[in-house]
Structure 1
Amino acid sequence: MLNVLLINPPQSTRYPQPPIGLALVAAILEKAGYPVKLLDANALRLKPEDIIEMVSDADIIGITAMTPTVGTALRIAVLLKQKNSNLKIIMGGAHVTLLPEETLQTSPAVDVIVRGEGDVTILELLKAIENNLPLSSVADISYKSNGKIISTDCGAPNIDMDALPYPAFHLLPWQMYQPHPPHGMAMPFGAMVTSRGCPYRCAYCSKPVFGSRFRAQSPDRVIDEVVYLQQKFGVKEIAFYDDSFTLDKKRVHAIADKIIEKGLKIAWTCETRVNLVDKDLLRHMKQAGCYAVAYGIESASPEIIKTLQKDITLEQVETAVGETREAGIQVIGYFMLGSPGETPQTIRQTIDFAKKLKVDFAQFSVTTPFPGTELYDIYMRDKKEKIPWEK
């Protein structure tokens, strides 16, 4: 069978997080019998040139590419092709999912792009490559053929979330992962993603990657993975990186019930929206080990919140923050500066609001028009120029 090497490109982060999506692909390939290695160049602080020296027996290279790392990912692809032109280089991830044609046009070293959820696609793609079958038979990919870029039809995301294997944590340098401040109750640290899809319409979110239909693992499946991480790796803290962990409140209540019933000693955090929590849920989460919740607050300007299509009010923010603190849970507030319509006055308004809320940790970021977002469409319509992502 084909030897596969999966690469998570390096980026400038102080606290590298486990590449859950790539580890899930690795687990699926392992289950199908493929020899797989996973190189987390980000956690290992490797440079692209270092990676090239570590590639030996691979037939297939899979590289994940988010917008902040796509330039480095493409650099790695070029260096790999220069060393071995026979390598098949596959790229996946949010950025190339949303800009497949543009990526292939500017990156001759990339052979195939897997779009969207690669859980099923990757197996079909490797079977096609192994058996010299036409790539046109594989859904959700883009590739070059006779100088033309071909994008196959989209397959319906009909994945049974409970049937997914546990991500291949054992292939990662798991001892090196640390939670983002102010998280950090206990080590070793692990991370999980238990759902996909979001029905909300935030203008800054790359919604097309997973779509608007919410799909989640059952409480039993979630608990099984928590127990696995505890027993296999001694994990004492878990970050749930679902886009909106509490979107299905009944599911979260059931997860909390099972953590308490089983007597699991696990500290955990999650991210969600201010309109998706209430007093009872927060108290239950606290009882089950939750010690911090991160909310996307974004701005204190109602006009900017409306522009961002966040669909929340400042009153909801204040209520959620207050109830979270009342439950004994730390509050992390995410804020964005530089959105359309931003002025020095609205920036000050947002900073003052963050102080008023007395969140335990406030993270301010610059609004960025990522591909697949409405903000990106607005940028491209106004600027009419392509962004040189490869740089």
Structure 2
Amino acid sequence: MADITLVNMNMLYIKYLDGRIHRQCHLPLGPLYLVSALRAAGVDVDFRDYQLLEAEELFEPDVLCDFLADPAPVIGISCMANLLPFVLYALPAVRARYPHSKIVLGGVGPAAIEQHILERVGAADVISRGEGEINATRLVRALNEGSPLSEVPGIWFRSNGDIRRTEQIPRVQDLDALPRPSYEELDFKKYVGHNILGSRGCPYPCSFCSITPIWGWKAFSRSNEDIIAEMQNMHHEHGVRQFLFQDEYFVSSPERMIDFSRRLKQAGLPVTYKAFARVDLVNQESMRAMADSGCVEIRFGLESGSDRVLERTRKGFDTRRAFEVVSLANKIFRSVDAFYVWGFPFETSDDFNASLFQMITLRGMGVRVLPSLLTYLPQTRIFEEIPDPGRLEFCHHLLPEYMISGIESRGTVRVKIDEKYAGLFDFVMSNRDIFPGFFHLDVESNIHPKLELLEEFEFYKPLDRDPESCGAHSPTDDEHGLTLNA
């Protein structure tokens, strides 16, 4: 028997109101890095990827229990915030089915709310926070051998009726030294998104972002040589032709990207790639070098067309810089995406109209504009700054794009909740502090008027015209059939 059954619960699964289902399977990089580290330390890992499960109904507790058949003594589950409700809702059934297995939660979903989860979800035994390559081996062995969990860093656990937290684990600074993700058992043909890691973390303090606080507002990058060596391996061994750099800080400076582009061209790989970037970390020379080396899509988080909102959210650049860089990028790359966040509680009508004007202008230039309703995640400063979290409202017909769970049926941003999932959403509504990302502030006065304008200007088009026009993912790339998740 394996020492741990490690389950990836991160997935993009969308049900539309007309019955269509849109799902994309991307390489689960985080869990695969963890698998490699555990196996390198001699831990026997049984890895399972829930996003590959072919089932008529994915979001029933019994389906997850069946998927976990014959688990190891330790069950580790990695999930993000959008699937955290289903995972926690299903854990009592998992505990009842497999009473002798210890259940460990990880990933970004439980971050910053570990205490709340352990207080209310008795089926969860341990929550791990931080880079698992450092503490996972010690945790698995402690659980299997019965040694004190207090000696394992980076975890939350129960002890004699109390919830305890151990010391925070340090960041991994030398990413090149990590074992590469464990691809040996994967069927690459089942994955349409071939992610590759360029960095971990982000140093920027954007108040609405959940990534930067999880990483402690610090970023560390892999060397360009190491990244390209992995790209060569993935291309030659697994036939990968397009790579997705989904980390926030891969494009960390013009100099880094010029060097990366030069090395990639010298390698002679017949591949393309897509990447996220900040408008203040690129220039004309670096963008031309990226395009010349095979970058077919660059994605910018502009967030707002109002300087007041950009300053309030600590974005770090102004609207003039944003517009100039995106306009230039649009002349260089085959595809340019501009992401906007709307629905800030301090976003006035003038602020929103400034964003709308900028969005319309960029769209007219050929830029793909992707608006996303503000998501209040518990790790974010904007959530911490809410004077009265009790004002958060649940809206049955409107959920933020980044909280697509696969349980609701969607039009564009508007949703319909099936009656059979009422219990799960009751669970969400009764645990506002665990699941604030599903809630809003001032729906009637702040959200609905802005949504109506976005719909009027067709940023949220009717389902039969553009079923994928939401900010959580972009339309299929015609040439490669791939999508880059937001």
TM-score, L = length of structure 1: 0.91
Deviation by residue 1:36-81 (Cα, 9 ceiling, x = unmatched): 2332223435334223113214221111132111111213422221
Q: Give the partner amino acid of 2:95.
A: K
- Residue 182 of structure 1: aligned partner: none
Question: Is 354-363 or 301-310 further displaced after alignment?
Answer: 354-363
Q: Give the partner amino acid of 1:26.
A: V
- Residue 170 of structure 2: aligned partner: 156
Distance 2:134 2:230 in 1: 21
Q: Confirm or deny: 8 A CA contact 2:43 2:137 kept in the other structure.
A: no
Deviation by residue 1:120-158 (Cα, 9 ceiling, x = unmatched): 111121122233221111111000011100000112214
- Residue 378 of structure 2: aligned partner: 371
> What's the offset of the Cα at 1:159?
4.2
Indicate the SS of the match to 2:194. strand
Asked if residue 128 in structure 1 is aligned to residue 142 in structure 2, the reply is yes
Cα distance, 1:372–1:388 mapped onto 2, change above 3 Å: closer
Instruction: Give the alignment partner of residue 78 of structure 2, picking from 64, 80, 90.
Output: 64
Q: Confirm or deny: 8 A CA contact 1:67 1:389 kept in the other structure.
A: no
- Residue 8 of structure 1: aligned partner: 8
Counting aligned pairs with the same residue, the percent is 26
- Residue 114 of structure 1: aligned partner: 128
Question: Is 278-287 or 301-310 further displaced after alignment?
Answer: 301-310
Asked if residue 286 in structure 1 is aligned to residue 302 in structure 2, the reply is no
- Residue 139 of structure 1: aligned partner: 153
Cα distance, 1:159–1:137 mapped onto 2, change above 3 Å: farther
Instruction: Give the alignment partner of residue 62 of structure 2, picking from 49, 56, 76.
Output: 49
Distance 1:364 1:173 in 2: 34
Q: Give the partner amino acid of 2:136.
A: I
Distance 2:343 2:215 in 1: 26
Q: Confirm or deny: 8 A CA contact 1:63 1:90 kept in the other structure.
A: yes
Alignment of 1:331-350 (within 5 A): 331-350=336-355
Cα distance, 1:379–1:32 mapped onto 2, change above 3 Å: same
Q: Give the partner amino acid of 1:20.
A: L
Deviation by residue 1:178-208 (Cα, 9 ceiling, x = unmatched): 3xxxxxxxxxx41012211222110011222
Question: Is 5-14 or 122-131 further displaced after alignment?
Answer: 5-14
Indicate the SS of the match to 2:340. strand
Cα distance, 1:173–1:77 mapped onto 2, change above 3 Å: farther
- Residue 30 of structure 2: aligned partner: 21
- Residue 190 of structure 1: aligned partner: 194
Indicate the SS of the match to 1:98. coil
Q: Give the partner amino acid of 1:347.
A: F
Question: Is 285-294 or 57-66 further displaced after alignment?
Answer: 57-66
- Residue 404 of structure 2: aligned partner: none
- Residue 444 of structure 2: aligned partner: none
User: Size of the alignment, in residue pairs?
Assistant: 381
Question: Is 60-69 or 289-298 further displaced after alignment?
Answer: 60-69
Instruction: Give the alignment partner of residue 30 of structure 1, picking from 34, 39, 44.
Output: 39
Q: Confirm or deny: 8 A CA contact 2:134 2:169 kept in the other structure.
A: no
Distance 1:171 1:143 in 2: 32
Distance 2:294 2:355 in 1: 31
Deviation by residue 1:91-111 (Cα, 9 ceiling, x = unmatched): 111232211111111111111
- Residue 102 of structure 1: aligned partner: 116
Cα distance, 1:73–1:173 mapped onto 2, change above 3 Å: farther
> What's the offset of the Cα at 1:369?
1.2
Cα distance, 1:31–1:306 mapped onto 2, change above 3 Å: same
Distance 1:297 1:141 in 2: 35
Distance 1:176 1:138 in 2: 36
Q: Give the partner amino acid of 1:3.
A: D
Indicate the SS of the match to 1:192. coil
TM-score, L = length of structure 2: 0.74
Distance 1:176 1:287 in 2: 29
Distance 1:172 1:374 in 2: 38
Indicate the SS of the match to 1:30. helix
Distance 1:351 1:134 in 2: 56
Q: Confirm or deny: 8 A CA contact 2:253 2:282 kept in the other structure.
A: no
Alignment of 1:187-336 (within 5 A): 189-206=193-210, 207-336=212-341
Distance 1:109 1:266 in 2: 45
Distance 1:340 1:290 in 2: 36
Cα distance, 1:104–1:11 mapped onto 2, change above 3 Å: farther
Deviation by residue 1:351-383 (Cα, 9 ceiling, x = unmatched): 321121235321111101111111110236453
Question: Is 290-299 or 340-349 further displaced after alignment?
Answer: 340-349
Distance 2:255 2:374 in 1: 33
Q: Confirm or deny: 8 A CA contact 1:269 1:292 kept in the other structure.
A: yes
Distance 1:248 1:114 in 2: 32
Question: Is 347-356 or 98-107 further displaced after alignment?
Answer: 347-356
Distance 2:345 2:366 in 1: 25
- Residue 89 of structure 2: aligned partner: 75
Instruction: Give the alignment partner of residue 48 of structure 2, picking from 39, 42, 67.
Output: 39
Q: Give the partner amino acid of 1:220.
A: E
Q: Confirm or deny: 8 A CA contact 1:190 1:229 kept in the other structure.
A: no
Indicate the SS of the match to 2:123. coil
* Aligned residues: CA RMSD: 2.1
Indicate the SS of the match to 1:191. coil
Q: Confirm or deny: 8 A CA contact 1:197 1:213 kept in the other structure.
A: yes
- Residue 481 of structure 2: aligned partner: none
Structure 1 residue ranges (4+ consecutive) displaced by more than 6 angstroms after TM superposition: none
Segments of 5+ residues of structure 1 without an aligned counterpart are 179-188
Q: Confirm or deny: 8 A CA contact 1:236 1:267 kept in the other structure.
A: yes
Q: Confirm or deny: 8 A CA contact 1:241 1:271 kept in the other structure.
A: yes
Distance 2:279 2:82 in 1: 27
Distance 1:328 1:366 in 2: 27
Cα distance, 1:11–1:280 mapped onto 2, change above 3 Å: closer
Distance 1:160 1:128 in 2: 26
